[in-house]
Amino acid sequence: MANSVPIEILHEAEGSMVAVEMKKGDIYRGNLDSAEDSMNCHLSNVTHKAKDGKISKMEQVYVRGSHVKLFVLPDMLVNAPALAKVAKAVAAKAEADATKRGLGGKARGAAAAGTGGGRNVFS
């Protein structure tokens, strides 16, 4: 079975510093050593911030994926190949929808493109 895009991006984040917020409010920040398709993760060199604000250091943590609320991943993953595939698919779908509506592949809002079309709401 093929992985979804979020899972692929999580796997690409392996080896990077991440923050993991749990459903109960705890936050773990550390190096993502490995991630599973179920979002179970192994972190090392971890700083744990408890819900009450208490901070502690841990050498290793194994986080259960079903308890994860969100991941904060590095900005470098914006250029991930999985996201490029999604952007290409979204652009192709938008072009197909525009052609289907009889717009000939052009998006709406010609005024924004500088062609002089469209309605001016400020006049």
pLDDT tens digit sequence for 59-89? 999 999 999 999 999 988 888 888 888 778 8
Query: Buried b vs exposed e over 60-91: b needs ≥16 C-beta within 10 Å?
Result: ebebeeeebeebebeeeeeebebeeeeeeeee
Q: What is the pTM of this model?
A: 0.70
pLDDT tens digit sequence for 8-63? 999 999 999 999 999 999 999 999 999 999 999 999 999 999 999 999 999 999 99
What are the respective helix, strand and coil percentages of the chain, to the nearest 5?
30, 30, 40
Mean pLDDT over 92-117 rounds to 64
Domains of the chain, first to last: 5-75 (2.30.30.100)
Report how far Cα 4 is from the mean position of its chain's Cα atoms: 11
